[in-house]
A and B are shown apart, each in its own frame.
Chain A
Amino acid sequence: MSQLHRAQKGSRHLLMGNEAIVRGALEAGVNVAAGYPGTPSSEIIETLAELATELNLYVEWSVNEKVALEVAAAASFAGLNALAVMKQPGLNVAADFLMQLSATGTRGPMVLIAADDPGALSSVNEGESRPYAKLMEIPLLEPGDFQEAMDMTRWAFELSGAIGNVVLLRTVTRLSHASGNVVFHELPERESVAQFQYAAGGGPLLSLPVKARHEQQQEKLRQAVALFEDSPFNTYSGPDNPEALIITSSICTLYSREAVEILGLTERVGILKLGTTWPLPNKLVERHLARADKILIVEEVRPFLEDEIKALAAESAARIGIKSFYGKRQGLMSSVGEMNPDKVVQALSHVLGLPLPNTESPYEKRVTEIAIEGAPNREGTFCAGCPHRASFWSINTALSMDNRGGFVCGDIGCYSLAATPAGFTTIKTLHSMGSGTGIASGFGKLGQFGMDQPAIAVCGDSTFFHSVLPPLINAIHNQSNLILVVLDNDGTAMTGFQPHPGSPVNAMGGGVVKVDIPAICRALGAEVVLGDPFDVEGTRRTFLKMLERTGVQVLVLRQPCALSPEKKGKKAYDMAVDEQACLGASCGCNRLCTRVFSCPGLVWDEKANHSRIDEVMCTGCGVCASICPVGAIGMKEFA
């Protein structure tokens, strides 16, 4: 990481998109950064945190995205350069404050980075950040490559400082997590003093009087548009009068260029790449629309850019004529999933009436055939030794035994996988952070309508702090009936073990106050039980007893993640399958261990007709020993 703050102007580096963003923030002189972990955004705060001490930055993992935005805003209010970082669903969490913030405006430059995940590669939705710019009336920037990720981040601070409002910069998974070459600019001299000027020189930050503030806010947007008209982030490449014009932004710029090259259309098709996507620089766009009659909009997920451009084209029709638009509205391109060069090739071929090129080589064809014939079906699953598998085994079997149709309202984390066979499809609802508990709180009040199914909520330790507390308080206050299972694996495991309020250290490695989950729950008035998920029998018994009771109960199942630094490479038990005891196919268990429990540390040896331990995968947690009905799996404690 040292190259990010030590390498000098003009040097060239291969950087991940998120690292390029960090360098851009450093070049802009960022002082304070706050965020909540979420793929694909997490590396930005992580990288800044590593540099914090040396560069005198303050970097924190906040309890949730709204608080992160508030923490960053405070720095801006005190005149510092502030950065808030989150994945798209986090922007939904932060939206309430963002609406007010955009009305009061900022003092020091402030940038909000939202990382979208088109195709939901690591998300439970493919929500969009772009419409937020329009909703909140703040400028939107979208880098199209790695150099722009850096340059545009730096400029976003400049823009924010110029207009006095927060600027939204949107990245996507394929930019944040891919790598490309970046040439560095200068780093600033760092001397910053924080002071909140609420009297002279600024006044209090209020959105009142609303109409006046709103007018000011819109004036800031007009200033931004004026800058956008001449922005170097909006570029055109292609002939002066192309047969078709592609208008695109973000990482789709690269896909569009590739498609034009594949089809050999560089002399026939032009590409207008927009980096400042809201509000649109009207004059610039109108100028380029005038070049062609056929306009193809290439963007991911919803037709945001398409709608904006069409509205602009309607206003400009008298000057530039009627255009034919191609994109998502008429179904040429899909409004779901990621974009890729092949999709652009197909769309462009349609627009120009060209035959589809045969892009499938014999090699690719054969690879596809072999994959279909020979590759085993691999479903997503929990890691070997994951405490969640054991927890859901106990919860699932207890709910089945209870026999009242009890179910689990899931939440966001690795444990969301329990909606699939990996967690025995135990989770029956899955929405946003904290929603499992809120939904269970609602289910728990439906007894008066004859509902007797037990409602269970699960959440991770980080999610507990993020957004489970309000619904838990709601359930207690309203005397709902629910069991909340906190799957405490000692960190924000899914996104890379970032600390949270239950951790003794902060993002920068400093000692902080560790907030105690069971103590909070007890203080709120919930019945709290502690358990070890690896004791599956004990956990099931405990859970069955809890199911017999009413009110709000919390079961904290604590066991560090199998991949946690404290566990990695250390086995508690040496596991072995007794080949004589394992009855194989003749056991009535029908391969319970490898067919249902399915820990990757256990494999079914087809030839030998018994299960065996995969020494490499097994983490020695010992749970499978209690799953085998004939006790064929043995565990020996390491001396």
Chain B
Amino acid sequence: MLQKGLCVDCGACVGICPYFKSHAGKIAMLFSCNLPQGRCHAHCPKVELDLERITQATFGKPYDGSPLGHYSEIKKARAGARLQGRGRFQNGGSVTALIAFALKSETIAAAALTGSLGLTPVPVLATSEAEVIACAGTKYMAAPSVASVNDYLRSGIGNLGVVGTPCQIAAVAQARLNPLNKPGFRDVVALTIGLFCTWAVDTRSFGALVGDKTDACAVTAMDVPPPPASVMEITTTSASYAIPLDEIRKTIPGGCAICPDMTAELADVSVGAMEGEPTWNTLIIRSARGAALVEQAVRGGYLELADLPLASQENLARGAAGKKKRALLKAREDRLLNVDPASGRSAMLIDDSVVQRILAG
């Protein structure tokens, strides 16, 4: 996986054993480990991710290749009155609101989030509202956030909330299955909030790109405005800069190109931007516990919901379907999809009929 350049630095293998470390946006294997199998592979979202198995285990339903995965409802949302004006939210602040409420309501005891150290994203295990608010804002860079989930799993304390990109949520979903039947395992994950993601960027290359324009440590916000703009806007304490997306794309890790998931289909709730309304989010409610949390958060004044126009839903589904199709074509071209085990290992396993459906879509 590392040799094929598929690593997206999700952190799934970090903290399980002493061989893997994340630094400056990349996973490094420190020494060769000759064990025949390990959780590093079993949890990795880029090694034989069996979408049928993981979808069944998460939702009790098959993986059908639909653009947005399984869900019960799609709404637009933003942080409620209790959180308004308290953080520098990327869009509506819905993720911050949901996690803050989950902590307040003791649905979770801690949350595995992604904070920043300068420009570099770092895993954060938050237990207070202030810590959650401090993590608000899109990082755009690959971050080893699942590492703190691994730390927490080992602690044995229950009720962890996880916020992550699709690959990170997939890694957590796999870890929750205890695929190697480790004795004494306990699933401590009480909530998963997925983030919409079209790609992430490599920390070091992106840092160099930003560093060419300004002091990377002075960056206060980043945003990719919707088309036709084709730039990333970088805001610092004193100015703002635009970096062409073409340059940004050069820093995207190879693993993102084969990712078929735009909306974190294995999460309880998925959250992303909303086209045309930058102070709102798109919210996809997937599981019963996700639905319950959203309902309680609204009641508690942490979240505000409204209907999402059908046209927006259709646009979102179109974008997600496009990503799926591109990913499968690329994975097939690179011999990473449904590979004969005798000739190599797959990054993904998807039933052939589902592959055909996605490609035909």
A residues apposed to B, CB below 8 Å? 396-397, 400-403, 424, 544, 588-590, 592, 596, 627, 629
Residues in B whose Cβ lies below 8 Å from that of A627:
18
C-alpha gap A262/B322 in the complex (Å): 85
Q: Provide the B305-329 mask, 1 if CB < 8 A to any CB of A, else 0.
A: 0000000000000000000000000
B:5-42 near A, CB below 8 Å: 16-19, 21-24, 26, 28-31, 33-35, 38-39
A402 lies within 8 A of B23 (CB) = yes
Across the interface, which residues of B come within 8 angstroms of A596, CB to CB?
31
Residues of A within 8 A of B34 (CB): 590
Tell me how far the C-beta of A369 lies from the nearest C-beta in chain B, rounded to whole angstroms: 29
Add 13 more A-B contacts to A400-B29, A592-B18 (CB < 8 A).
A396-B30, A400-B28, A402-B23, A402-B24, A402-B28, A403-B24, A403-B28, A590-B17, A590-B19, A590-B35, A592-B19, A596-B31, A629-B18
Chain B residues with Cβ below 8 Å from A589 are 17-19
CB < 8 Å neighbour of B23 from A396, A401, A588, A592: A401
Note all chain A residues with C-beta closer than 8 A to B38: 588
- Give the most central of B19, B26, B29, B34: most A CB within 10 Å: B19
Q: How far is the CA of A590 from the CA of B20 in the complex (A)?
A: 13
Task: Look across to chain B and name the residue whose beta carbon is closest to the beta carbon of A402.
Answer: B23
- A94–B320 Cα distance when bound, in Å, is 72
Question: 27 A-B pairs, CB-CB below 8 angstroms?
Answer: A397-B21, A397-B30, A400-B28, A400-B29, A401-B21, A401-B22, A401-B24, A401-B28, A402-B23, A402-B24, A402-B28, A403-B23, A403-B24, A403-B204, A424-B31, A588-B16, A588-B17, A588-B35, A588-B39, A589-B17, A590-B17, A590-B19, A590-B34, A592-B19, A596-B31, A629-B17, A629-B18
- Residues of A near B24 (CB, < 8 A) are 401-403
Q: Nearest B residue to A548 by beta-carbon distance?
A: B24
- Within the assembled complex, what's the spacing in Å between the Cα atoms of A397 and B30? 6
Closest Cβ neighbor of B34 among chain A residues: A590
Residues of B within 8 A of A (CB): 16-19, 21-24, 26, 28-31, 33-35, 38-39, 204
A544: chain B residues at CB < 8 Å are 23
Q: Which residues of B contact A590 (CB under 8 A)?
A: 17, 19, 33-35
Residues from chain B with Cβ under 8 Å of A403 in the complex: 23-24, 26, 28, 204
Instruction: State how many angstroms separate the Cβ of A242 from the closest Cβ of chain B.
Output: 59
Looking at the assembled complex, report how far the CB atom of B8 sits from the nearest CB atom of chain A, in whole angstroms.
14
Q: Which residue of A lies closest to B39 (CB)?
A: A588
With both chains docked as a complex, state the minimum distance between the C-beta of A158 and any C-beta of chain B, in angstroms: 59
Query: Measured between C-beta atoms, what is the minimum distance from B40 to chain A in Å?
Result: 8
A590 to B29, CA, bound (A): 14
Q: How far is the CA of A402 from the CA of B26 in the complex (A)?
A: 8
Which A residues lie within 8 Å of B31 (CB)? Answer: 424, 592, 596
CB distance from B129 to the nearest CB of A (A): 31
Closest 10 CB pairs of A and B: A588-B17, A401-B23, A629-B18, A403-B26, A400-B28, A401-B28, A400-B30, A596-B31, A590-B33, A397-B30
| A31 smallest CB distance to B (angstroms) | 55
Tell me, rounded to whole Å, the shortest Cβ–Cβ distance linking A431 to chain B.
Answer: 26
> What distance in Å separates the Cβ of B182 from its nearest Cβ neighbour in chain A?
9
Best-buried of A402, A424, A627 by chain B (most CB within 10 Å): A402
Q: Give Cα A166–Cα B24 distance, bound, in whole angstroms.
A: 59
Contacts of B23 in A (CB 8 A): 401-403, 544
Assembly CA distance A592 to B35 (angstroms): 12
Q: List the A side residues contacting B17 at CB < 8 Å.
A: 588-590, 629
Most buried by A among B31, B34, B204: B31
How far apart are the CA atoms of A626 and B49 in the complex, in Å? 34
Q: How far is the CB of B26 from chain A (nearest CB, A)?
A: 4
Query: Given the complex of chains A and B, what is the CA–CA distance between A589 and B30 in angstroms?
Result: 12
Chain A nearest Cβ from B252, distance in angstroms: 16
Complex: chain A residue closest to B27, CB-CB: A403
Q: Which residues from chain A contact B33 at a C-beta distance below 8 Å?
A: 590
Chain B residues lying within 8 Å of A396, measured Cβ to Cβ, are 30
Residues from chain A with a CB closer than 8 A to the CB of B26 are 403
Once the chains are docked, how many angstroms separate the CA of A424 from the CA of B35? 18
B141 CB → nearest A CB, Å:
15
Residues of B within 8 A of A401 (CB): 21-24, 28, 30
Q: How far is the CB of A591 from chain B (nearest CB, A)?
A: 10
B residues within 8 A CB of A588? 16-17, 35, 38-39
Give Cα A442–Cα B30 distance, bound, in whole angstroms.
27
CB proximity of A628 to chain B, nearest CB, Å: 8
Quote the shortest CB–CB distance from B70 to chain A (angstroms): 33
With a cutoff of 8 Å between Cβ atoms, the chain A residues found around residue B204 in the complex are 403
Q: Find the A residue at minimum CB distance from B40.
A: A588
Q: Nearest-CB distance from A99 to chain B (Å)?
A: 48
What's the Cα separation between A424 and B204 when bound, in Å? 26
Least CB distance from B105 to A in Å reads 34
Give bound CA distance, A592 to B34, whole Å.
11
Q: Tell me the minimal C-beta distance from B90 to chain A in angstroms.
A: 28
Residues of chain B within 8 A (CB-CB) of A424 are: 31
CA distance A592 to B18 in the complex (A): 8
In the complex, A629→B38 CA distance in Å? 16
